[in-house]
Amino acid sequence: MKRYLSVLVGIILSISSYLIPPAAAASKASEESQEITHLRSTFEKELKRINEEQANAINDLQEQYIGSLNVLESTMQKAGKLEPLLAIRKERERFKTEREIRDVNLLQDVLELLTLQVEYRKALEEKLPLERAKKIVALAQQYDNSLNNLQVKLTQKGNLEAAINVKSERESLEKRSEVTAARFVIADAEVKMQKNLQENEAAPPKVVSPQPEKKADITAGKKYTGKTENYIRKRYTALCDSIINQDWKKAMEYIDPDFVKTRGYDAVEMQLGFVFPFLKLTEKPQFKLKTGDVTVDEDKQRATLIPKIWFNNGWHEQPAVDWIEVDGEWYLDMKQRSWPAPPPRPHLRRR
């Protein structure tokens, strides 16, 4: 009897080992586990890289702000403006130590400096976080797609336990703080953009357009009618609106075509942001912008416009804006005047 039982047990073990090889089953489970681990590891590495890029971008922004202060200080020195120069120098030394701009640090008395401060805070609080959020959401979507493909494959093979584990990983991904925070940043930015669009449609233009003249100043070759000074004001108004709305393609229509062709689209866009930084202030109700005097040269081919901005209960003139007539149309001339150059961008760190 005992001999019979021993033989029976041996047969059963032999059949079991034939139907389900332990080594093969373990190897299969190990491969599936390694695939999940690989996907998770790739996601974590990319997330770390995004965070490192954000830290580098913040550092680059800080260096650009210091560089802009250096340029502005030099401009004030050449203009002989001592008090603004000292204020800018003090702000630069303070920022080098604190590396932040709080509300108490905003200097309302020096418009050019205030503009740089507003630009810096907007980039730090809105632009950089939005860029990081978009990268994180895109990475999370890519990771979820890979997990979903693996889940489908495991389900088709009948490996339900492993498929359930992948499903749990996808659910955990949806709840990760980095992903939920990134989606909130993007949604908040979209709400603000929509609100700005609605306000722009409902509100009157921020730049005051002049009333059309009754008498026409028409000469051969012109692509416009009316008085030249008023037409230039109209073109300047449209240019400012394009820059405020960041419609760079439209803005290029008002720039000397030869200059755009020579410098390139991207370079001109960056130059415009530096030449007209005060336009960012017009997003706030306490600041207003209007066109000032326009002087046309005797040859009728060049003109100068003086913008004005309202703050601290008064109108303040901004740097002169030069215009040039090309083939009967007036364009912003960025070659004639020595515009302040934007500060050089620090080289990106190599990882």
Least confident of 3-12, 78-87, 135-144, 219-228: 3-12
Assigned architecture for domain 207-332: Roll (3.10)
Task: Output the pLDDT for position 247.
Answer: 83
Long-range residue pairs from 240-247, CB within 8 A, at least 24 positions apart, any chain: 240/206, 240/207, 240/276, 240/279, 240/289, 241/205, 241/206, 241/207, 243/272, 243/273, 243/276, 243/279, 244/206, 244/279, 244/282, 244/283, 245/200
Task: Output the pLDDT for position 9.
Answer: 47
**Do the beta carbons of residue 290 and residue 279 sit within 8 Å?**
no
Note the pLDDT tens digit of each residue in 329-338: 999 887 754 4
Task: Output the pLDDT for position 107.
Answer: 82
Cα 347 from Cα 71, distance rounded (Å): 19
Among residues 156, 275, 282, 117, which one has the least CA distance to residue 208? 282
If one compares 169 and 346, the residue with the highest pLDDT of the two is 169
Res 205 pLDDT > 80: no
Average pLDDT on 52-76 reads: 91
Note the pLDDT tens digit of each residue in 126-135: 889 999 999 9
Neighbours of 278 (CB within 10 A): 21
CA torsion sign, 4 to 5 to 6 to 10? positive
Task: Output the pLDDT for position 3.
Answer: 55
Amino acid making up residue 58: I
Average pLDDT of every residue of the chain: 78
Number of Cα atoms under 13 Å in the Cβ half of residue 98: 11
Note the pLDDT tens digit of each residue in 82-127: 999 999 999 999 999 999 998 888 887 888 888 889 889 988 988 8
Percentage of the residues of the chain whose pLDDT score is greater than 70: 72
If one compares 204 and 74, the residue with the highest pLDDT of the two is 74
Q: What are phi and psi of 294, to 5 degrees?
A: -120, 125
Mark 150-159 as b/e (b = at least 16 C-beta within 10 Å). bbeebeeeeb
Q: Identify the residue whose tokens are 């020579």.
A: 262
Among residues 276, 286, 193, which one has the least CA distance to residue 239? 276
Least confident of 13-27, 109-123, 165-179: 13-27
Res 152 pLDDT > 70: yes
Res 15 pLDDT > 80: no
Which residues, at least 6 apart from 168, have a Cβ–Cβ distance to it below 8 Å?
none
Res 21 pLDDT > 60: no
Among residues 53, 32, 183, 52, which one has the least CA distance to residue 40? 32
If one compares 271 and 185, the residue with the highest pLDDT of the two is 185
Res 328 pLDDT > 70: yes
If one compares 52 and 348, the residue with the highest pLDDT of the two is 52
**Do the beta carbons of residue 317 and residue 292 sit within 8 Å?**
yes
Cα 173 from Cα 39, distance rounded (Å): 12
Note the pLDDT tens digit of each residue in 237-248: 888 888 777 788
- Give pTM, 2 decimals: 0.54
Cα 187 from Cα 157, distance rounded (Å): 39
Task: Output the pLDDT for position 144.
Answer: 92
Kindly tell me the burial class for residue 119, based on how many C-beta atoms sit within 10 Å of its own C-beta (0-12, 13-18, 19 or more).
Answer: buried
Average pLDDT on 260-286 reads: 66
CA torsion sign, 262 to 264 to 265 to 266? negative
Per domain, the residue ranges of the chain are 28-202, 207-332
Cα 91 from Cα 117, distance rounded (Å): 10
Percentage of the residues of the chain whose pLDDT score is greater than 90: 27
Average pLDDT on 154-172 reads: 90
Task: Output the pLDDT for position 349.
Answer: 38
Res 206 pLDDT > 70: no
Average pLDDT on 175-187 reads: 90
Note the pLDDT tens digit of each residue in 292-303: 788 888 878 888
Q: What are phi and psi of 323, to 5 degrees?
A: -130, 150
